[in-house]
Amino acid sequence: MTQHPFVSGIQLSRALYEGFVRPTMARLYPTVPYAAALIGPGSEVLGYDTEQSTDHDWGPRLQLFLGDTDCAQAGQGIAAAVHSALPQQVLGYPTTLATDNASEEREYRAVTVHTAGRYFESVLGADPSGELGPAAWLTFTDQHLRSLTTGAMFQDAVGQLTRLREKLRYYPHDVWLYMLAAQWRRIAQEEAFMGRCAQVGDELGSMLVTGRLVRDLMRLCFLMERVYAPYMKWLGTAFRELDCGTRVAPTLLRALTATDWTARERELSSAYEIVAAMHNSLGLTDPLPTGVTPYHSRPHLVISADRFADAIRARITDAEVLALPKHLGSIDQFTDSTDAVNIAAQFRAAYRPVEA
């Protein structure tokens, strides 16, 4: 842990750029256009780093993005020149990163040089400079897209980084509808199970289903507000920042901490009704009833989420999207394996058009 006041990673990156990288580039490569940014992996890119973050894989760093020709001809030289011009510390933080072994350190290049296209391809598994079909979009995880479109950009004299970030700002409309329908479908598949588990004396199962439904409702809210959701560590933090966060989060928390199933049902029902009203406010479909009702003849209240899934799906017009597996959704929706989402591009075969 540090012994001086904490400086966020974005502040540190800006100080690195303003104090050392920009002057070095102006002095040694005044005619080379470049972009400078802090994007990609790291809690500091999302703006969620704290002093605890400084214990590993954290420090002053940024990326330089060159045009294709400049990167091929001068990229290595620029990287070496900028690296040699860096001080041992920036704002009191060393330009080295601690390893998992606290007694060791490894040197790293605080400034790395890329083309925007190749960097984005390394994160997404596809170069977004070209045409992106639905299958590609659906194997881009929310976390990866968020990490590429947030962070900090200090300048862009090339233009490609700005264009790619804008292109990836959010999912195309019909892909978004497809994901919304799939998320409502996830809720429909389990919304009656919380009470049913409790009915047979399975309190642990009832609580587990509640947790799954809470997470699905949270991710539905991210989708409805058209905000990329971060990975699990920061999901609750980012959820509180949504427009609906202050209204929905307390209800979800009470559902998770309730000690009996009727209390869980009451809080989940309140959350269902809020998100149903949010759906209607989007104007994507004709207004749908927002109240909960009994599940068939059983004493369990549900929102009947399939109604929303079906109504949204009926508004999809893109033939490629309609040909996708009906309820699969994006990779974030059909798996939560960290290893799987890190090789998401390998799942594109799952989106082969279904037979009519």
- Number of other CB atoms surrounding residue 223 within 10 Å: 24
Q: Residue 1 has what pLDDT?
A: 47
For helices 116-124 and 142-149, the axis angle rounded to 10 degrees is 160
C-beta neighbour count of 201 within 10 angstroms: 9
In the three-class reduction of DSSP (H, G, I as helix; E, B as strand; rest coil), residue 153 is classed as: strand
For 218, residues 6+ apart whose C-beta sits below 8 A from its C-beta are: 229, 235, 236, 239, 248, 252
Spatial separation of the C-alpha atoms in residues 326 and 322, rounded to whole Å = 8
**pTM for this one?**
0.92
Structural tokens at position 82: 């900028």
Cβ count within 10 A of residue 59:
21
How many CB atoms lie under 10 A from the CB of residue 158? 21
Rounded Cα gap, residues 211 and 180, in angstroms: 20
pLDDT beneath 70: ranges in the chain: 1-3, 96-109, 354-356
Q: Which residue has the tokens 């949204």?
A: 312
Q: Which helix (H) or strand (E) holds 306?
A: helix 306-313
